[in-house]
């Protein structure tokens, strides 16, 4: 039976929840103790367990029966230190940061909560937020939490069609957006995208618009001004829904993962504090967009629950130049910097001078997330950005896990960190590696499919509208285990290294997308008969589409046509880089993606067993096509 851990409504015990039936089973708090004391370094772990227990007790005390996430994130800090800065909005225009104190954020959120309530949003509703990182986006998320509505933040780079699909699935009647977004100096009319999306969403009753590029307070901000700054929080059970967040799976349809109140918040706060060594007074700089889980947990909920100061980054790593991150670190005195390997690899190419130009002495911890970080990028991050004195934490986790599950820290002070390895499971996380026969690998040194053997507070509880898909995706492959979809290796020392996805999900520029989603978009071009999309190693992007044309189709303009279709149906970032024409298939008609992946990576010696191919000549054609394309693109 698959189990999920949650903190229950009356907060007197920790209980396990059967994911298949969602029936609660009472277990004592010591379940956490067992997890930790079973690991090798018992004394250190016991110490961690005490910290964890202490944190749990603090939460239990601060959140008695039926309280609200909001009180934990805002009210208590606004009461104890109202003038402390909660958010620093690092706007696209460098040097134009806006600071928002806990008092101001509380007021802004209460006004937004009152407005939503007055306009009919009720406990249990779901509000879609389609906004770039800005204080009002955070206030909107927290306003939903305050009045008991779930929020569904959709990354503001998604197309109208992708947005509409998410609004429909979430059955949102309210959407909040901005007139225009500004990123890398480029203005995009987000409101137009929303208008186009809601035409296909009969559930939408109202759209609130904030004026990002209008100096006059108008739109939602103006409406909020007439609302009261006091907003009665809805009474919420710890297992009520906090938010939905759509992410890609291995089928074409994105899944709305459901996260609940108390367990999620506890886990985001604890991991934020212990993985990054976040201390009171620090400035935490996570540059992820709030449209992804990283933004939810480490821009909004984790830092705010800890009463911290969090940076909301609206720009890009290279705007106006490749020194942007480090100039910001100097100006805002950032203590922890958390970013994606794709950006690190991009910046590495521009050279050290862009980093060295700025004072980075405030930095204490550097973090990486979203995909494996290669050794070269890790070492550059450590030696150049961190001047060799900041621990680099390669943090492994997923939208499904709610927070970091494997990372080099916390650990004993000065414990070794191996470049490019996530290494150590967080408190209460017990990974297992499964072999081809579905058995757990017992030797220290081994590799396999990464599963988690025990529930943890931050885990998603369901897929919105499709609990069966949740059970099937995560708990059926290895009965009794949560299957992550990733492969991993364990070293002799017991450290974990993530080797990549085992299913058809790829990472493009740090964003997660299913190959099936891209194939659906490519196949909608009239000239395309069929296609196969694979990810390939590429410093920044890496989507490779193999496309078979219909017999009478003409090639002229095809690449532009395919790219338009992908950017209309998903987002620009998912556009493929390369195209060739024939698909190697097995005799039963299955596309051999393994072969395509190897060709895309240029690893022709690693093609493996080709004996099951229907027509081996297709492989040669694919290889030839790939070579021609490479030659064509060479300057
Ligand atoms: C990948 C992002 C290697 C992994 C927080 C996972 C990683 C997927 C790492 C989740 C890492 C994330 N090393 N791979 N440190 N972190 N991944 O849901 O394949 O957008 O399953 O959550 O990103 O992506 P998601």
Instruction: Tell me the C-alpha distance between 42 and 293, whole Å.
Output: 32
552 belongs to a structural domain: yes
Per the listing, tokens 């134009």 go with 96
What confidence score (pLDDT) does residue 500 get?
80
**Residue range 528-536: average pLDDT?**
83
pLDDT in tens, 242-296: 999 999 876 768 899 999 999 999 999 999 999 999 999 999 999 999 999 999 9
List the residue whose alpha carbon is closest to atom 22 of ligand 1. 398
Task: Give the closest residue to 518 by CA, choosing from 584, 452, 563.
Answer: 563
Q: Which residue has the higher pLDDT, 213 or 384?
A: 384
Strands 431-434 and 446-452: antiparallel
What confidence score (pLDDT) does residue 601 get?
80
pLDDT band at 6 (very low <50, low <70, confident <90, very high): very low
8 has a pLDDT exceeding 60:
no
Percentage of the chain modeled with pLDDT above 70 = 85
Q: Model-level pTM?
A: 0.84
pLDDT in tens, 350-377: 999 999 999 999 999 999 998 888 888 9
215 has a pLDDT exceeding 80:
no
Q: Is 504 near ligand 1, meaning CB less than 6 Å away?
A: no
Q: How many Cα atoms are found within 13 Å in the side-chain-facing hemisphere of 7?
A: 28
pLDDT in tens, 164-196: 999 999 999 999 999 999 999 999 999 999 999
Helix or strand or coil: residue 362? coil
pLDDT band at 525 (very low <50, low <70, confident <90, very high): confident
533 belongs to a structural domain: yes
Residue to mutate (ligand 1; options 338, 371, 431; most atoms within 8 A of CB): 371
- Phi, psi values for residue 485, rounded to 5°: 90, -5
Instruction: Tell me the C-alpha distance between 40 and 43, whole Å.
Output: 9
Q: Is 517 near ligand 1, meaning CB less than 6 Å away?
A: no
For residue 570, what is the domain's CATH number? 3.30.300.30
Instruction: Tell me the C-alpha distance between 478 and 443, whole Å.
Output: 19
Mean per-residue pLDDT of the chain = 86
DSSP-assigned beta bridge partners for residue 259? 243
The alpha carbon of 397 and the centre of ligand 1 are apart by a number of angstroms equal to 5
Instruction: Tell me the C-alpha distance between 549 and 560, whole Å.
Output: 15
Q: Where are the alpha helices (DSSP H) in 276-319?
A: 293-295, 302-305
Q: Is 300 near ligand 1, meaning CB less than 6 Å away?
A: no
Residues in the chain, how many?
635
**Residue range 317-338: average pLDDT?**
97
296 belongs to a structural domain: no
152 near 130, Cβ under 8 Å? no
pLDDT in tens, 67-96: 667 677 899 999 999 999 999 999 999 999
Lowest model confidence (mean pLDDT) among 49-53, 78-82, 522-526: 49-53
- Tally of domains in the chain: 1
Residue to mutate (ligand 1; options 154, 272, 370; most atoms within 8 A of CB): 370
Residue to mutate (ligand 1; options 153, 289, 396; most atoms within 8 A of CB): 396
Burial zone of 436 (CB within 10 Å; 0-12 exposed, 13-18 middle, 19+ buried): exposed
Measured on CA atoms in the order 301, 307, 313, 314, is the torsion positive or negative? positive
DSSP-assigned beta bridge partners for residue 127? 151, 174
140 belongs to a structural domain: no
Strands 283-286 and 181-183: unpaired
The helix (H) or strand (E) run that includes residue 113 is helix 102-118
420 belongs to a structural domain: no
**Residue range 190-208: average pLDDT?**
97
Q: Which residue has the higher pLDDT, 45 or 580?
A: 580
576 has a pLDDT exceeding 90:
no
Domain that holds residue 584: 509-633
The alpha carbon of 257 and the centre of ligand 1 are apart by a number of angstroms equal to 15
284 near 263, Cβ under 8 Å? no
589 belongs to a structural domain: yes
Q: Is 513 near ligand 1, meaning CB less than 6 Å away?
A: no
Q: Is 398 near ligand 1, meaning CB less than 6 Å away?
A: yes
Instruction: Tell me the C-alpha distance between 542 and 547, whole Å.
Output: 16
221 belongs to a structural domain: no
609 belongs to a structural domain: yes
Q: Which atom of ligand 1 is nearest to the CA of 501?
A: 19
Task: Give the closest residue to 600 by CA, choosing from 576, 574, 617.
Answer: 576
DSSP-assigned beta bridge partners for residue 129? 153, 176
């Amino acid at each position: 039976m698959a189990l999920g851990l949650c903190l229950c409504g009356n907060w007197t015990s920790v209980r396990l929840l059967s994911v298949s039936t969602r029936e609660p089973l009472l277990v004592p708090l010591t379940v956490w103790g067992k997890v930790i004391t079973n690991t090798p370094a018992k004394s250190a772990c016991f110490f961690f367990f005490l910290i964890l227990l202490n944190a749990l007790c603090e939460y239990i005390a601060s959140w008695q029966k039926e309280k609200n996430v909001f009180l934990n994130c805002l009210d208590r800090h606004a009461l104890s230190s109202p003038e402390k800065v909660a958010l620093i909005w690092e706007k696209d225009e460098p040097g134009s940061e806006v600071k928002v104190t806990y008092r101001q954020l509380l007021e802004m959120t209460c006004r937004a909560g009152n407005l939503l309530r007055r306009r009919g949003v009720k406990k249990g509703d779901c509000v879609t937020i389609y906004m770039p990182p800005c204080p009002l986006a955070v206030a909107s998320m927290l306003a939903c939490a305050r009045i008991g509505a779930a929020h569904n933040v959709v990354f503001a780079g998604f197309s109208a069609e992708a947005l509409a699909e998410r609004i429909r699935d979430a059955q949102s009647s309210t959407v909040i957006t901005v007139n225009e977004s500004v990123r890398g100096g480029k203005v995009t009319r987000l409101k137009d995208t929303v208008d186009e999306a809601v035409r296909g969403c009969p559930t939408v009753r109202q759209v609130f618009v904030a004026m990002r590029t209008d100096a006059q307070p108008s739109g939602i901000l103006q409406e909020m001004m007439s609302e009261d700054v006091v907003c009665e929080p809805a009474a919420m059970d710890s297992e009520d829904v906090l938010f939905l967040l759509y992410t890609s799976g291995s089928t074409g349809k994105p899944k709305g993962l459901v996260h609940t109140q108390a367990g999620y918040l506890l886990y985001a706060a604890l991991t934020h504090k212990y993985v990054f060594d976040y201390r009171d007074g620090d400035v935490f700089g996570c540059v992820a967009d709030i449209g992804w889980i990283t933004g939810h947990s480490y821009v909004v909920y984790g830092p705010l629950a800890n009463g911290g100061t969090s940076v909301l980054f609206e720009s890009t790593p290279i705007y106006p130049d490749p020194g942007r991150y480090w100039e910001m670190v100097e100006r805002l005195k950032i203590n922890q910097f958390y970013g994606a390997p794709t950006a690190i690899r991009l910046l590495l190419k521009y050279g050290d001078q862009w980093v060295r130009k700025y004072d980075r002495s405030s930095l204490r911890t550097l973090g990486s997330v979203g995909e494996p970080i290669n050794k070269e990028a890790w070492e550059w991050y450590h030696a150049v950005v961190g001047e060799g004195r900041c621990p680099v934490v390669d943090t492994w986790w997923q939208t499904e896990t709610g927070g970091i599950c494997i990372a080099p820290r916390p650990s004993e002070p000065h414990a070794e960190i191996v470049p490019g390895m996530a290494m150590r499971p967080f408190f209460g996380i017990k990974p297992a590696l499964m072999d081809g026969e579905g058995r757990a690998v017992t030797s220290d040194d081994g590799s396999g499919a990464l599963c988690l053997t025990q529930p943890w507070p931050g885990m998603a509880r369901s897929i919105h509208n499709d609990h069966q898909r949740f059970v099937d995706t995560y708990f059926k492959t290895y009965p009794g285990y949560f299957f992550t979809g990733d492969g991993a290796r364990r070293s002799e020392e017991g450290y974990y290294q993530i080797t990549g996805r085992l299913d058809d999900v790829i990472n493009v520029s740090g964003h997660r997308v299913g190959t099936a989603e891209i194939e659906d978009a490519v196949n909608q071009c009239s000239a395309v008969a069929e296609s196969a999309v694979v990810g390939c190693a590429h410093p920044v992007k890496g989507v490779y589409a193999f496309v078979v044309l219909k017999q009478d189709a003409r090639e002229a303009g095809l690449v532009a046509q395919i790219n338009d279709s992908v950017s209309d149906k998903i987002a620009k970032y998912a556009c493929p880089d390369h195209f060739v024409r024939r698909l190697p298939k097995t005799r039963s008609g299955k596309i051999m993606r393994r072969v395509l992946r190897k060709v895309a990576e240029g690893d022709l010696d690693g093609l493996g067993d080709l004996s099951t191919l229907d027509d081996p000549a297709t492989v040669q054609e694919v290889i030839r096509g790939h070579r021609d394309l490479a030659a064509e693109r060479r300057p």
